[in-house]
Amino acid sequence: MTNLATAFRAAPPTAWFGLVVTTLIFFVALLAPVIAPYGQTQIVGPEFAPWSNSHLLGTDNLGRDMATRMIYGARNTVGVALATTLLAFLLGGSAGLLAGTVRGWADQLLGRFVDIIMAIPSLIFALLLLAIFGTSIASLILIIAGLESTRFFRLARALALGISALDYVEAARLRGEGLGWLIYREILPNAAAPLIAEFGLRLCFAFLFIATLSFLGLGIQPPTADWGSMVRDNAVLITYGDITPLLPAAAIALLTVAVNFIVDWLLQRSSGLKD
């Protein structure tokens, strides 16, 4: 606890900004049913009502409270993106470390399969798979995680190939250590810094990917609140000079910047880099 407190005190202002923003969004998402003034699907007024005391951000194209949907959108968008990235990290990272450590036919088989998946544009592939398997939350998470895991695989494999050739890993092999020990006790700790950076980058891409799919109508489905679909549903207001449709996009951008600030700080600490 002392080391953690010291690390927080020594964190740069950008890291503090990222921590404050992500913590705030996390608590908003967690406490959405408590702090939201209305239900996320409740129609509370006329369509496109202006900002007022009763509707802080006005209403959307169906008369639902925009502030309420922004709050619930944080829960849905961030929750799906985080679940997707964690699953992709576990699948791709584990497979990449395994392939880079054992090499041989397993490396070639996994590597060529990943090459085939990465040769297809991710957005087009995701649209095709969602059209086939449906647009449920489970399908959305599994499909995006499967596509994003290829990026984790390539990085983890490259790191494992380099680290597994070092002397201390060879010494562990000669001691008779098993594959699990080599991966999780010898290779993974020394590959943590770039994997942390990649996790943050992929999390940001997941926000944008899910928002893009929702904007196209194949992401998180209505009436569930989602920042991407909120931009699409209220885009007509931009022609009248109303910035309300830009607020969900700004929320995605703000969260992306905040996560990147935290990742930069963690990468600096993990790698031992100094300012």
DSSP string, 118-165: HHS-HHHHHHHHHHHH---HHHHHHHHHHHHHHHHHHHHHHHHHHHTT
Q: pLDDT, tens digit, for every residue of 140-190? A: 999 999 999 999 999 999 999 888 888 888 888 888 778 878 888 888 888
Q: pLDDT, tens digit, for every residue of 3-17? A: 556 666 777 888 889
pLDDT of residue 177: 78
Please report whether residue 226 resides in a domain: yes
Q: Is 73 exposed, middle or buried (0-12, 13-18, 19+ CB in 10 A)?
A: buried
Please report whether residue 89 resides in a domain: yes
Q: pLDDT, tens digit, for every residue of 50-78? A: 888 888 888 888 889 999 999 998 888 88
pLDDT at 218 over 70: yes
Q: Number of helices and strands (H, E) in the chain?
A: 12, 0
Please report whether residue 176 resides in a domain: yes
pLDDT at 85 over 90: yes
Q: Structural domain tally of the chain?
A: 1
Please report whether residue 2 resides in a domain: no
Please report whether residue 45 resides in a domain: yes
Please report whether residue 67 resides in a domain: yes
Q: What is the CATH number of the domain that holds 22?
A: 1.10.3720.10
Predicted TM-score of the model (pTM) = 0.85
Dihedrals φ, ψ of 64, to 5°?
A: -90, 150
Please report whether residue 143 resides in a domain: yes
Q: Which two tokens stand for residue 78?
A: 């961030």
* Lowest mean pLDDT, pick from 42-51, 219-228, 249-258, 262-271: 262-271
Name residues whose C-beta falls within 8 Å of residue 61's C-beta, 6 or more positions apart in sequence: 47, 48, 233, 234, 236
pLDDT of residue 104: 81
Domain limits for position 46: 10-271
Beta bridge partners of 65: 59
pLDDT at 273 over 60: no
Please report whether residue 217 resides in a domain: yes
- The percent of residues in the chain predicted with pLDDT above 70, rounded, is 95
- The percent of residues in the chain predicted with pLDDT above 90, rounded, is 18
